[in-house]
């Protein structure tokens, strides 16, 4: 039987980066992917990454002249529901072709000793007599099955979570697929501009009221008109119509080319680890709650996990659930707590009318340039006391002059309080697994109380 220290399932952004971190720490790592190499990442053409992450992760920076590079911008824009109050976020993004970028990651991580096998599918786990994971059964492109022995299996298999969902019920990991209500439905329209010289976007402009954006595409004469919505593609199309009818979009020629996909939109699975097992990426539902972007959010988890895994596997040790548990603690108390706070806050903000959204932009309530820039850098709500007092003042004013309904203000305040309760709870994630069941029960209660975007949208449709 072939033997590796670590087998990673999924050779996309999460799997390749984590594999590199472990190979660099001296482990023998195999990454398998069900797809041929040229197909990985092909589901999407144009992709954005926070530029600062090239430095944070050490991944060689993409620049003009690299085949995968499309463009980059130093800031992004955010617009109100009627498009009258542009706000700038000073946070750079790099735009590139995802399929080529995955190949770039494979080349880079191979230099550190990572082994890749493509057209190779995970079939099932292999357990020892104590029912602990000790390997995986895989099937290659010729349909030949093979048992591989390893001490750690890392699930980076994407939104379907096929690997974690193959775990037995008593393994301590959530093993059900994400529900369709826990996803963000993204539709990208690649359009050809009628007047590219005048209309070609130089940065990405988001319209949070509709969750739409206009951004550069790989076509120098084109653009992307994108939308992401909770609930369903049908609902996304309905909101897109309203967007098109309200905002003056650049004139286009011909029919747009459409790309569609889903990204997780819910809290991460509560425990990411068990005996000989770790879950990262979309499979663990690690995405930024304010944009649905998952790559850099997962890279943060990879960086948290790498040294803990290395320590748990030092000198040939088997990585037990207890030895890997600090990954749960560190993740939940940092990015997990920040994402919980932001997601619960946003749930309260969706109920505003277009007019209210317009006023919120005008008065920089919620959509404040400094707050948004800070949030992008920290992946967290970093409002200072001064900014908080300003916000409260503006809300009181808005209520007094009737610009925002009482129910909208009450929703915002309630969601802020629920968000704080969730953040406190994540910050108190148990140091060991003994109190975990109790922590999960309380977390379930708090999330139920916070509600979900899909439920709110459905309610508003029915009304």
Ligand X SMILES: Cc1cc2nc3c(=O)[nH]c(=O)nc-3n(C[C@H](O)[C@H](O)[C@H](O)COP(=O)(O)OP(=O)(O)OC[C@H]3O[C@@H](n4cnc5c(N)ncnc54)[C@H](O)[C@@H]3O)c2cc1C
Q: Which residues bind ligand X (CB under 6 A)?
A: 9-15, 32-35, 40, 44, 47-48, 121-122, 156-158, 162, 186, 188, 259, 261-263, 281-282, 287, 293-296, 298
Residue nearest to ligand X (CB): 294
Cβ proximity of 280 and 155 under 8 Å? yes
List the one residue out of 112, 28, 21 whose CA is nearest residue 302: 21
Stretch (H or E) spanning 115:
strand 115-117
Q: How far is the CB of 330 from ligand X (least distance, A)?
A: 19
Beta strand spans in 179-221 (E): 183-193, 205-207, 212-216
What is the C-alpha separation between 306 and 112, in angstroms, rounded? 15
To which residue do tokens 């992008």 refer? Answer: 376
To which residue do tokens 């195999």 refer? Answer: 30
Name which of 262 and 408 has its Cβ closer to ligand X.
262
CA 141 to chain centre: 30
Q: How far is the CB of 436 from ligand X (least distance, A)?
A: 24
Name which of 48 and 363 has its Cβ closer to ligand X.
48
List the Cα angle 222/223/228 in 5-degree steps.
150
What is the C-alpha separation between 23 and 18, in angstroms, rounded? 9
Q: How far is the CB of 41 from ligand X (least distance, A)?
A: 7
CA distances from 67 to 12, 62, 97, 99, 265 (A): 18, 9, 8, 11, 32
What is the C-alpha separation between 454 and 376, in angstroms, rounded? 24
Q: Which two tokens stand for residue 258?
A: 């459409």
Name which of 184 and 439 has its Cβ closer to ligand X.
184
Q: How far is the CB of 373 from ligand X (least distance, A)?
A: 18
Q: How far is the CB of 44 from ligand X (least distance, A)?
A: 5
Q: CA torsion 330→333→334→340, rounded to 10°?
A: 140
Name which of 11 and 324 has its Cβ closer to ligand X.
11
CB-count burial class (<10 Å; 0-12, 13-18, 19+) for 383: middle
Identify the DSSP state of 181.
Answer: G
Name which of 258 and 400 has its Cβ closer to ligand X.
258
Name which of 71 and 415 has its Cβ closer to ligand X.
71
Name which of 144 and 400 has its Cβ closer to ligand X.
144
Q: How far is the CB of 185 from ligand X (least distance, A)?
A: 8
Name which of 35 and 404 has its Cβ closer to ligand X.
35
Name which of 287 and 335 has its Cβ closer to ligand X.
287
Name which of 166 and 329 has its Cβ closer to ligand X.
166
What is the C-alpha separation between 211 and 9, in angstroms, rounded? 32
Name which of 57 and 162 has its Cβ closer to ligand X.
162
Name which of 153 and 323 has its Cβ closer to ligand X.
153
CA distances from 62 to 50, 112, 222, 291 (A): 12, 19, 21, 22
How many C-alpha atoms does 243 have within 13 Å on its Cβ side?
A: 24
* 345 Cβ contact partners less than 8 Å away, ≥ 6 residues apart: 381, 415, 416, 419
What is the C-alpha separation between 114 and 136, in angstroms, rounded? 18
Q: How far is the CB of 322 from ligand X (least distance, A)?
A: 26
Q: How far is the CB of 254 from ligand X (least distance, A)?
A: 21
What is the C-alpha separation between 372 and 191, in angstroms, rounded? 28
Q: How far is the CB of 428 from ligand X (least distance, A)?
A: 28
Q: How far is the CB of 2 from ligand X (least distance, A)?
A: 16
Give me the helices (H) in 69-168, please.
98-110
CA distances from 273 to 247, 250, 432 (A): 46, 48, 12
Q: How far is the CB of 22 from ligand X (least distance, A)?
A: 15
List the one residue out of 159, 161, 222 whose CA is nearest residue 189: 222
Q: How far is the CB of 421 from ligand X (least distance, A)?
A: 27
């Amino acid at each position: 039987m072939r033997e590796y220290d670590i087998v990673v399932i999924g050779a996309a952004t999460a799997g390749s980066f984590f594999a590199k971190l472990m190979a660099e720490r001296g482990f023998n790592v195999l990454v398998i992917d069900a797809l041929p190499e040229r197909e990985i990442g092909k589901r999407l053409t144009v992709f954005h990454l926070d530029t600062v992450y090239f430095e944070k992760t050490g991944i060689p920076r993409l620049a003009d002249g690299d085949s995968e590079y499309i463009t980059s911008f130093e800031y992004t824009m955010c617009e109100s529901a009627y498009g009258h109050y542009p706000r700038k976020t000073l946070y750079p993004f790099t735009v590139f072709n995802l399929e080529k970028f995955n190949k770039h990651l494979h080349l880079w991580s191979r230099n550190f000793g990572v082994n890749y096998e493509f057209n190779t599918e995970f079939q099932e786990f292999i357990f020892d007599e104590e029912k602990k994971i000790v390997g995986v059964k895989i099937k290659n492109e010729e349909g030949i099955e093979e048992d591989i022995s390893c001490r750690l299996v890392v699930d980076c298999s994407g939104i379907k979570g096929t690997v974690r969902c193959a775990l037995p019920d008593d393994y301590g990991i959530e093993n059900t697929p994400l529900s369709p209500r826990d996803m963000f439905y993204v539709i990208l329209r690649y359009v050809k501009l009628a007047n590219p010289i005048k209309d070609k976007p130089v940065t990405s402009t988001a319209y949070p009221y509709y969750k739409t954006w206009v951004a550069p595409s790989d076509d120098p004469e084109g653009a992307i008109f994108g939308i992401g919505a909770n609930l369903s593609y049908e609902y996304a199309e309905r909101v897109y119509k309203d967007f098109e009818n309200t905002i003056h979009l650049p004139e286009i020629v011909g029919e747009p080319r459409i790309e569609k996909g889903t990204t997780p939109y819910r809290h991460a699975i509560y425990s990411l680890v068990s005996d000989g097992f770790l879950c990262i990426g979309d499979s663990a539902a690690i995405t930024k709650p304010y944009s649905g972007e998952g790559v850099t959010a997962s890279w943060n988890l990879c960086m948290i996990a790498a040294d803990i895994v290395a320590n748990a596997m030092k000198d040939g040790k088997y990585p037990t659930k207890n030895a890997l548990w600090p990954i749960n603690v560190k993740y939940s108390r940092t990015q997990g707590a920040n994402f919980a706070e932001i997601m619960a806050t946003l749930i309260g903000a969706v109920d505003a009318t277009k007019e209210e959204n317009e006023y919120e932009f005008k008065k920089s309530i919620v959509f404040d340039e400094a707050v948004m820039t800070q949030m992008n850098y920290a992946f967290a709500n970093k409002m200072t006391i001064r900014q908080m007092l300003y916000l409260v003042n503006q809300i009181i004013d808005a209520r007094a002059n009737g610009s925002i309904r009482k129910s909208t203000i009450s929703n915002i305040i309630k969601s802020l309080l629920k968000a704080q309760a969730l953040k406190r709870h994540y910050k108190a994630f148990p140091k060991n697994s003994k109190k975990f069941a109790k922590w999960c029960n309380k977390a379930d209660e708090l999330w139920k109380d916070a509600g979900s975007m899909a439920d709110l949208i459905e309610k508003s449709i029915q009304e």
